[in-house]
Structure formats: structure tokens, C-alpha cells
Amino acid sequence: MSATTHDEAHHADEPKGFTRWLFTTNHKDIGTMYLVFSLTMFFIGGMMAMVIRGELFEPGLQLVDPYFFNQMTTMHALVMIFGAVMPGFVGLANWMIPLMIGGKDMALPRLNNWSFWILPFAFAILLSTLFMPGGGPAGGWTMYPPLILQTGMAFPFLIFSIHLMGISSIMGAINVISTIFNMRAPTMTLMKMPLFVWTWLITAYLLIAVMPVLAGAVTMLLTDQYFGTSFFNAAGGGDPVMFQHIFWFFGHPEVYIMILPAFGIISQIIPTFSRKPLFGYASMVYATASIAFLSFIVWAHHMFTVGMPLAGELFFMYATMLIAVPTGVKVFNWVATMWRGALTFETPMLFAIAFVILFTIGGFSGLMLAITPADFQYHDTYFVVAHFHYVLVTGAVFAIIAGVYFWLPKWTGHMYNEKLAKTHFWLSTIFVNVLFFPQHFLGLAGMPRRIPDYSTQFADWNMVSSIGGFAFGLSQLLFLYLVISSIRGPKNATARVWEGAKGLEWEVPSPAPHHTFDTPPVVE
């Protein structure tokens, strides 16, 4: 099999410096740019979270006006979802999918370049709204009308930036699908593909299905605001609840867009460090597809309190509960993969184990939230905030971090400092729980979401949560340091990197050469 590539000197005519990155069509370069962008947005969104936790440190207003607080909660969500988590996964897809399937690049390299370079502009537009008269959007990332229509100058910029993010995501998804179907090595059959590739294939279909729906919803907001339509204006015969239905028809699959690739990463890491094949490969694929299907018929569980008919509430409750079955299958399969393995605990494995444990906690609270009568109490409280941060921070973000530690030596050729990385793991894992676990208590005790100030009965757990937040935020600087020092460090990593590593990406040298698999490898 041919893992090596032809001489690098052959590509001496390629541009250097900034133009290399601006014009690049190389999947590795574009993957790197996505990941750097994602990390940047992670810190920008993180700073917004620090403002939020700073203001909530004790009762009373100390730092910011309530309206600015609302801008922070809105922008924190938009930046983290569309700027940090999604581009993070696209970056990993760019880097790893061609390497994993033995293809020489993405199928549509110029489209790939374009879908990345839209993002900095989209976020420049979005973030610039914070400096406009009237400030940024403050109606929540869910953008419910009529409230969002009270946004000032920021409003059209918000809509257009979301359009741009959607275009970028759709093009990225088209690229992933066409790559997986066209660029595989001839012997790489679909059911031999690594699970990360499978989960991304399904995620890409979800993206293509729902991003246009979001674009439609926000365009209707735009015409309601400026062109006299009344899609969501009750006074004009429209329906404010219809927006929520359309938004969550996008929004719920979006949640799985942010978690399915995470399942894929974890399914690569756990077998590697258990030195055992993944348990139930086929059922993992089917479970992923079932979750994707179910994601389209559960959206209204985000809206149990809007006053739906009883039959609707029952349907969405049952459908939502069903998701627990394929998700359970996944967790059981990971545990069965570890069962009777020969486990070692390098940093990627530590993050993967923390993912399984903490994501499952988010799954439990998700099951509780699915129960409609109980949701009447939980809805729009900190219980929900705790729930989705368990699935998104200790779920999606932990999986991305695990994936970065797992593949970083392959990308940079340098083995990161394991001791420091484990310190990063322990600090992150302890403080993320100090940060989010008390929020369950706050929500159950009656604290609503998205408030800048609260009754004194909520003071203590908010202070604990804020301390956890500051410490978790600071711990991530260690991650930044480790990534930078790995990029700059000497090339000392082996091709295989991990003793138990299996798959085509480990057949190429570390760092992976600029061009790989010019001739397709043979999969056994």
C-alpha cells in the first residue's frame, strides 16, 4: 500500500505566506484554518460566558446593563454553536475524512476554500453588531418574534450573518457527501468506513435538510421587519408560534449536527485505547441513522409550554422518549468496547471516558425533559441550561478536544506534553462540573434562564457555578498553550502515534505530508 507521497519539491511553485492560506484548496490547510477559526471563536464565546458568569456571581447588578447581558447570552450561543462547535467538526472532517477513506483530497476543493472563507466575514458581521448603536441582538439565539423584531440596527446584520453561516454549512455538507461517495479507495466499502466518516455522512444530510429551513425562517423575520409581511405578526393575521415550529424544525436536527460527529470521534478513540475493535459497528451505524431520522419528528418538545393540543404534546413526548433507545445503544456499545479490553489512559481516552459519563448525565436530564408534565416545570429554567451544556460542553466540546489530542501528533508531527495535557483534562473535568452541575439545582429551585439578576435564594449555587466557570475558562488557556507548543515543537511523533491505532490515517507519516494517497491504498 502506498502511504507515502511524491516529492514535496514538486509543489515548490505553491504560494507561501498569506496567499497560501487564502487560495489553498488543500484539505489539510483548510482543515487547519477551520480548527484555528473554531478555537478563536471558542475563546471569544468563552469571554462572553465570563461576562455572564461574572454578572451572575452575586445578586444585584454589578457589571453590565440587563440589555447588554441579553446581548451576551444571545451572542454567546450564536458564536459557540455556529462559530466554535460546527466549524470545529468541519475542520476535523476536512483533515480526517480524506485520510480515513484513502482519498487524496476533498471532492470539491474550491468549494471547500469558499465555504471556509465565508465564515470570517459572517462572524465579522455578527460580532460588529456589538459596536453598533443599540448594540447587538438581544432576543436570544432562538430569535423568537415579536421580541427579536425589537432589535435595533443589528437586526439585518444578524439575519445576513446567519444566511452566510448557512451557505457555508450547506457547501461544507455537499463537499463531505460527495467526498465520501467519490473519493474512497476502491476497497473502502461503506460498511468498512470508520465511524467518524459514517457519522459525518449522516450529519451532512441533516445539514442540507435543515439549514435552508433556518434561512427561510430568518428571511421571513426580515420581511416582517422591513417589507410589511405578517408571517409572525398576530395583528396582521400571522402566527408567532409558527416561527417556533419552523425554527425548531431546524433547531432539533441542529442539536444532532453538533453531537453525531462527536459520537464518531469517541467511536474512534475508545477502541484505540481499549486495544479492541468497536463493539457493534453495524448497530452503531444504524443507531446514528435512527437518531438522525427521529431528530426530524421531535422538534416541538422545545415548545411544550406554548399551548399545543393534547394530541400534539403526547406525540412529541413519545417520539422524544424514543431517542433514548438508539442513544442508549451507543453508550452500551462504548461500555462493551471497553469491557475486557486492555485499557490505557492517554489524554484522548480520558476525554472520551469523561464524554461518555457526562454526556450520559445530559442524556438523563434530556429524558426527564422529554416528559411533558415535568417539562412544564423544567422548561426555560437553569435545569435546561445545565442539560444542554452537559451535552454540548462535556459532549460536543469534550469530543472535539479529545479528537484534537488524538490527531494532533498526526497533524503537527509533535507529541504534545502528556503530563500537561492530563492536567488540562483534570482541571476541565472538575471545573466543568462545578460550573454546570449546580445549575440543575438552580433550575429545579425555580431560577429561569436568561436573567441578569436573581432572587437571593439562588445566590449560593450561582456563586459556586461562577467560580467553576472562571476556573474552566482559565483552564482552556492550557489547551491553547499545548496546541501552540505542539505546532512549534520538534517532529518526534511516529506514524502510528498510538499503540492501538487502526485505520488509514495512521499509515501516513507524522506530520501528514501535504499530499497523501496519490494512489489509493488497499484496505484489508
Partner 1 sequence: MRLSKRMGVIAGGLALFVLGGVLQPAFADYALNMTEGATGQSHAVYDLHMTIFWICVVIGVVVYGAMFYSIIQHRKSKGREAAQFHHSTALEIVWTIIPLIILVSMAIPATGLLINMEDTSNSDMTVKVTGYQWKWGYDYVGEGVSYISSLDAQSEEARGLDASRTPESVDHYLRNVDHPLVLPTNTKIRFLITSNDVIHSWWVPDLGWKKDAIPGYVNATWAKIDKPGVYRGQCAELCGRGHAYMPIVVVAKKPEEFQKWLAAQKKKNLPSPEDNAKASASAEGAAAQPVEVAGRRNGVSDAPLSDNGLAAVMTYERDAWVNGAGALAQPSDVRAAR
Would you please indicate which residues are annotated as catalytic (active-site) residues? 76, 105, 141, 168-169, 252, 254, 256, 267, 301-302, 327, 330, 449
Find the binding residues for partner 1 in span 80-99 (CB under 8 A): none
SS3 assignment, position 515: coil
The CB-of-246 to partner 1 minimum distance in angstroms stands at: 15
The count of other CB atoms within 10 Å of the CB of residue 524 is: 6
Closer to partner 1 by Cβ: residue 8 or 418? 418
User: Is position 54 an interface residue for partner 1 (rule: CB under 8 A)?
Assistant: no
Whole-number Å distance between alpha carbons of 135 and 151: 9
Give helix 195-226 / helix 86-101 axis angle, nearest 10°: 150
Binding mask 430-449 for partner 1 (x = CB under 8 A): x---x------x--xxx-xx
Q: Are 5 and 516 in contact (CB under 8 A)?
A: yes
Among 21, 123, 461, 479, binds partner 1 (CB under 8 A): 461
Cell match 421580541: residue? 147
Tell me whether residue 14 or residue 239 sits nearer to partner 1 (CB atom). 239
The runs of H, that is alpha helices, within 379-524 are 382-391, 398-412, 418-445, 459-488
CB 150 to partner 1: min, Å = 4
Which of the stretches 5-13, 86-94, 249-257, 342-350 binds partner 1 when contact is defined by CB under 8 A? 342-350
Among 80, 97, 88, CA closest to 34: 88
- Interacting stretch for partner 1, rule CB under 8 A, among 61-69, 110-118, 191-199, 400-408? 61-69
In the list 124, 342, 474, 477, the residue contacting partner 1 (rule: CB under 8 A) is 342
Binding part of the chain for partner 1, among 37-45, 149-157, 213-221, 504-512 by CB under 8 A, reads 149-157
Residue 150 interacts with partner 1 (CB under 8 A)? yes
Show Cβ contacts of residue 439 under 8 Å, excluding neighbours closer than 6 positions.
382, 383, 385, 386, 389, 461, 465
Stretch near partner 1 under the rule CB under 8 A, chosen from 32-40, 122-130, 144-152, 250-258 = 144-152
Which residues, 106 to 135, sit near partner 1 by CB under 8 A? 133-135
Per the CB < 8 A criterion, the answer to whether 280 and 329 are in contact is yes
Evaluate the CA torsion angle 100, 186, 1, 111 in order and state its sign. Answer: negative
- Is 245 one of the binding residues for partner 1 (CB under 8 A)? no
Smallest distance, partner 1 to C-beta of residue 202, A: 19
Among 75, 78, 101, 331, binds partner 1 (CB under 8 A): 331
CB-based contact 398:350 (threshold 8 Å): no
